[in-house]
Amino acid sequence: MSADVELDHVSIRFGDFTAVKDANLTIREGEFFSFLGPSGCGKTTILRAISGFSEPTEGEVRIGGRNMAGIGPNRRPTALIFQNLALFPLMTVAENIAFGLEVRGVPKYERRRRAEELLKLIALPGTGDKLVTSLSGGQRQRVAIARALAVEPEVLLLDEPLSALDLKLRQHMRTELRTIQQRVGITFIYITHDQGEALTMSDRIAVMSQGVIQQVGDGESVYNDPGTAFVASFVGENNALHGRVSQADGEFAVVDTRFGGLRGRNTRGLRTGDQAILFVRPESLRLVNGEAPANVLETRVVNEEFEGSARHLHLAGDRRGLALTQTNDGEVQRVAVGDTVRVGFRPQRAVVLPEGRLASE
């Protein structure tokens, strides 16, 4: 069984501090949905409101169409996986997994059977009698998932559960989580500050900043069509060029930057004279030889890094430097540190957005 989750104009305040401001969205049933944002952006607060550990100050949380106001976490059809997993260290793996069933009065042999089934699902059969403290990080991770799944929740909530794992394991667990979600078919709501996790796993992502949901969409639309300066700078690497719109039509706008007029898509309908930022991704920047029609800026190579599959050039830029990524396909033009280079991009690959707060500013 799976259920949708609706946040109907949800605001959550702690005293004077507004942790979540007017969150309004519907998470579809069976969806892998992520809340993505830097720490302190209110994503965990939203998760706690869905799980029932806190109540919204304003608005309603509905799960499967049912208003959840006044229903405690122990009576909601949700299960939460904590950031530090919060497994019970004094219980065995099987007891941990079956705890939710024990609470519901399921008889012992039946609990044992269910625990074994779930251990098979998470590929840890036969570990039921071990203590959780004897398991590795990745194994504990999976036990926590099994414990949450044992109560057959309609919605599974995950609060940055991968953050304690090392990089390799984290990447492996991403695929694993996605596989488990597809197998059990329930709604997953995932909280993370790691845009890589959000992009690879989610059906849809809500990007949050300072308690406000900035944009909701699938990975590609959030990455390719950021709606605000924050989203553009937070999701993936991006070069920001500040300036004033000097010319605008329906589709494109030209921003008058330090490097001259540069053209990008005008998705937010900016008008001439507006303060704006033009965002262009490192992988969209190209070194330009000879004559190029437009959208070319001249700058200097400050540093370069070779990463195997790609080469990253750091160029002198606007407020921050510019980054340019070349794919190592054997056809790239080599440049040296200190060289003056001309770089350009296609206007379709850049987006002009209203001036706003950037991530980590």
Least distance from C-beta 90 to other proteins, angstroms? 5
Stretches 100-108, 170-178, 298-306, 338-346: which one binds other proteins (CB under 8 A)? 100-108
Which amino acid is present at 53?
F
Name the residue nearer to other proteins (CB basis): 72 or 185. 72
Q: Are 76 and 52 in contact (CB under 8 A)?
A: yes
Name the residue nearer to other proteins (CB basis): 26 or 83. 83
Q: Exposed, middle or buried: residue 48 (CB in 10 Å: 0-12, 13-18, 19+)? A: buried
Taking the C-alpha atoms of residue 185 and residue 175, their distance in angstroms, rounded to an integer, is: 15
Q: Are 255 and 353 in contact (CB under 8 A)?
A: no
Residue 293 sits at φ, ψ, to 5 deg, of -60, -55
Taking the C-alpha atoms of residue 303 and residue 29, their distance in angstroms, rounded to an integer, is: 47
Q: Does 53 bind other proteins (CB under 8 A)?
A: yes
Q: Does 287 bind other proteins (CB under 8 A)?
A: no
Binding to other proteins in span 333-352, by CB under 8 A: none
What number of chain residues touch other proteins (CB under 8 A)? 25
Q: Name the residue with tokens 């090392």.
A: 166
The site string for other proteins over 104-123 (x = CB under 8 A, - otherwise) reads x-------------------
Taking the C-alpha atoms of residue 256 and residue 281, their distance in angstroms, rounded to an integer, is: 18
Residue 265 structure tokens = 């898509």
CA angle 25, 27, 30 (to 5 degrees): 170
**Exactly one of 60, 67, 88, 316 binds other proteins (CB under 8 A); which one?**
88
Q: What is the dihedral of CA 36, 6, 158, 131, to 10 degrees?
A: 170
Which amino acid is present at 324?
L
Residue 244 structure tokens = 């004033």
Element (H, E) at 79: strand 78-81
Q: Does 252 bind other proteins (CB under 8 A)?
A: no
Least distance from C-beta 211 to other proteins, angstroms? 22
Q: Name the residue with tokens 């996986």.
A: 81
Name the residue nearer to other proteins (CB basis): 95 or 318. 95
Stretches 32-40, 95-103, 262-270, 312-320: which one binds other proteins (CB under 8 A)? 95-103
**Exactly one of 151, 164, 169, 332 binds other proteins (CB under 8 A); which one?**
151
Stretches 38-46, 77-85, 208-216, 337-345: which one binds other proteins (CB under 8 A)? 77-85
Name the residue nearer to other proteins (CB basis): 151 or 184. 151
**Exactly one of 69, 86, 292, 337 binds other proteins (CB under 8 A); which one?**
86
Name the residues that contact other proteins, by CB under 8 A: 51-53, 72-75, 78-80, 82-84, 86-88, 90, 99-100, 102-104, 147-148, 151
